[in-house]
C-alpha cells in the first residue's frame, strides 16, 4: 500500500476510533462487556472519577454510534438500562487484544515513561 493510499484509509478510521477511544467510552464499553446490562448509577459507581455529565455525554456518543443500546422503562422514577449492541459486541474482540497488549507491556512502557520524565528534569 503506497503512502497516499495508507493516509486516505487511516483518516476515516481515526474519526471512528476517536469516538470510542476516549478515556470514559473505553471504560464504559469494557464495563458493559464484563457485566452486561447496567443502569446509569451502576455505571457511575463502577467508573471511578467520572462525573454524571461526562458519563451522560459518553453514553450519548456511544448510543449515537450504535455501540450502546439505551432502554427506557416508562416508570416513575424513570429506569434506564444500557447494554452493548451487536456492533458494540463486535468491537470487544479487537479491544480485548489491545487491552491484553497493554497489560503485557505495561511494566516496560511505565519504565520508559519514568526514564523520559527523569531526563526532562535534568
The model's pLDDT over 84-111, given as tens digits with 9 standing for 90+, comes to: 999 999 999 998 898 899 899 999 999 9
pLDDT band at 5 (very low <50, low <70, confident <90, very high): low
Rounded Cα gap, residues 36 and 31, in angstroms: 8
Cis peptide before 77 (omega within 30 of 0): yes
Nearest of 89, 3, 82, 71 to residue 40 by alpha carbon: 82
Rounded Cα gap, residues 119 and 113, in angstroms: 10
Residue with cell 535534568: 122
Percent of the chain residues topping a pLDDT of 90: 62
Residue 10 has pLDDT above 70, yes or no: no
Percent of the chain residues topping a pLDDT of 70: 91
- The pLDDT of residue 6: 61
pTM for the model stands at 0.79
Amino acid at each position: 500500500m503506497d503512502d497516499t493510499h495508507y493516509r486516505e484509509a487511516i483518516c476515516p478510521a481515526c474519526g471512528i476510533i476517536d469516538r470510542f477511544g476516549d478515556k470514559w467510552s473505553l471504560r464504559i464499553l469494557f464495563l458493559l462487556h464484563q457485566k452486561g446490562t447496567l443502569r446509569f448509577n451502576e455505571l457511575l459507581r463502577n467508573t471511578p472519577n467520572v462525573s454524571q455529565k461526562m458519563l451522560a455525554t459518553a453514553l450519548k456518543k456511544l448510543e449515537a454510534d450504535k455501540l450502546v443500546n439505551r432502554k427506557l422503562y416508562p416508570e416513575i422514577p424513570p429506569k434506564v438500562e444500557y447494554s452493548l449492541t451487536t456492533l458494540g459486541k463486535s468491537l470487544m474482540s479487537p479491544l480485548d487484544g489491545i487491552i491484553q497488549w497493554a497489560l503485557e507491556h505495561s511494566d516496560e512502557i511505565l519504565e520508559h515513561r519514568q526514564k523520559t520524565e527523569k531526563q526532562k528534569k535534568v
